[in-house]
Amino acid sequence: MDIQLEKKKGLRPKHYGYIALGLLLLFVGYKMLFSTSLSTFRTEKDKLSIAEVTQGKFDDYITINGFVAPITTIYMDAYEGGRVTEKLIEEGTMVKKGDIILKLENTNLYEQILASESNLALKQNDLRSTKLTFDSRQVEGRRSLATASTDLQRLKRNFEQNQALFDDELISKEEYQLSKENYELSQKQYDIVKMQTENDDELRKTSLTGLDADLSRMQKTLGMVYQRLDHLNVRAPADGQLGFLDAEIGQNISQGDRIGQINVLTDYKIEADIDEHYIDRVKRDLVASFERNGTEYPLRVRKVYPEVRNGRFRVDLVFTADRPETIRTGQSYNIKLQLGESSNALLLPKGSFFQSTGGQWIFVVNPSGGEALKRNIRIGKQNSRYYELLEGLQAGEQVITSNYDNFGEAEKIVLK
């Protein structure tokens, strides 16, 4: 028996209502999901610093704080150690080169001087004794040479006479031979005495030269010891101002200790510390300036110190023209250091937001002013007022430049 299938019925009108309600709920859920996908922070607009991005001239400079210092500082170290017996000049006094500042005493040095003087006296006595000995030998040698020369002449004359007589057969051959042998012996003795005298003269010359050299060295050594004695008088190494003096009467100072310094005040320099962020851009001969009492004073970077301490490095700047008449060591100036040429750029006012973002992003206020959204940016150079903006913003846009620490991980700021 066949079963008759019922034909499916189509959508009834009431079904359309259910479908519409479902679509509405789906749309509302989507809107709620989209609106809560961005973490939001709400705050009052008046509590924030809001600035506008502008197009203008970017001056590539930084502002640094510098302190006036003498153009040259000469340190005084103790050549000799000793106890301070007298302090003749106080700190801050103007001095001339060679002025005695301190007097020291050193008993060990005095003993060394006495020992050196004794050694020199002994050496001088030895030299005199040696000279007397050589002089005596020289006199004796010349006497022996004179005697040998006289004997040689007499025996030569006797030999020549006997030779003539022997040729005439007036004397015996034995007598002739005897006179010949005496003459030849006298000749040899004369040669020996002459050679010995010449050797003694040469020995005397070399020995006395060596002794004179030893004596000269000892005299120089004694002179150096006397110079060490003079170093117990601590003198100013140059004209200038005694900057500081670390010595008091009765104080023991070791050799090489730093005693004080002389500030040469013929000119001045300015010492400044700069953030290590600029270490690759700060070079010698960069120009700078500062303003005082309505007058601008130009400067030049003379020296850049390579060492970085506590995130900063030091530079020395010198005046290239006039300097303030009332300039004093230790004064501070705000200096404008020019790092490069000016250029046209987008300018983003500086603010404390940089500490939170590192210049990687910023909150941009929408045209209505009701909220601000996080946006990535790229910053180039900076000066004391502006960042050079490379990308991410346009002129006329408003941004929040105050600190972001309270915003947490928010990506949208609702401004009330």
Q: Poorest-confidence range of 23-37, 112-126, 175-189, 338-352?
A: 23-37
- At 397 the pLDDT is 93
For residue range 122-132, list pLDDT tens digits in order: 877 887 787 78
Instruction: Say whether pLDDT at 14 is over 60.
Output: no
Q: Read off φ and ψ for residue 170, nearest 5 degrees.
A: -100, -20
| First-to-final CA distance of the chain | 79
Closest CA to 151 of 193, 114, 92: 193
Closest CA to 263 of 330, 353, 319, 196: 330
More confident residue, 166 or 375: 375
DSSP string, 215-274: HHHHHHHHHHHHHHHHTTEEE-SSSEEEEEE---TT-EE-TT-EEEEEEEEEEEEEEEEE
For residue range 147-186, list pLDDT tens digits in order: 888 988 998 899 889 888 888 888 888 888 998 899 899 8
Average pLDDT estimate for 267-288? 91
Identify whether the C-beta of residue 104 lies closer than 8 Å to the C-beta of residue 83: yes
Average pLDDT estimate for 267-289? 91
The pLDDT mean for the chain works out to: 85
Strands 412-415 and 40-43: parallel
For residue range 379-402, list pLDDT tens digits in order: 988 887 889 999 999 999 999 999
For residue range 319-343, list pLDDT tens digits in order: 998 888 888 888 999 999 988 888 8
Residue 151 parent element (H or E): helix 107-167
Q: Percentage of residues in the chain with pLDDT exceeding 90?
A: 28
Q: Poorest-confidence range of 216-220, 261-265, 374-378?
A: 216-220
Tokens 């909220």 sit on residue? 371
pLDDT tier at 284 (50, 70, 90 boundaries)?
very high
Average pLDDT estimate for 108-123? 81
Average pLDDT estimate for 278-305? 91
Q: Name the strands in the sheet holding 82-87, side by side, starting at the edge strand that comes first in the sequence.
A: 233-235, 100-105, 82-87, 252-253
* Identity at 152, one-letter amino acid code: L
- At 18 the pLDDT is 63
Average pLDDT estimate for 226-231? 81
Q: How many CA atoms lie within 13 A of 212 on its CB side?
A: 7
Identify whether the C-beta of residue 393 lies closer than 8 Å to the C-beta of residue 348: yes
pLDDT tier at 35 (50, 70, 90 boundaries)?
very low
Instruction: Say whether pLDDT at 6 is over 80.
Output: no
- At 33 the pLDDT is 46
Tokens of 270: 């300015």
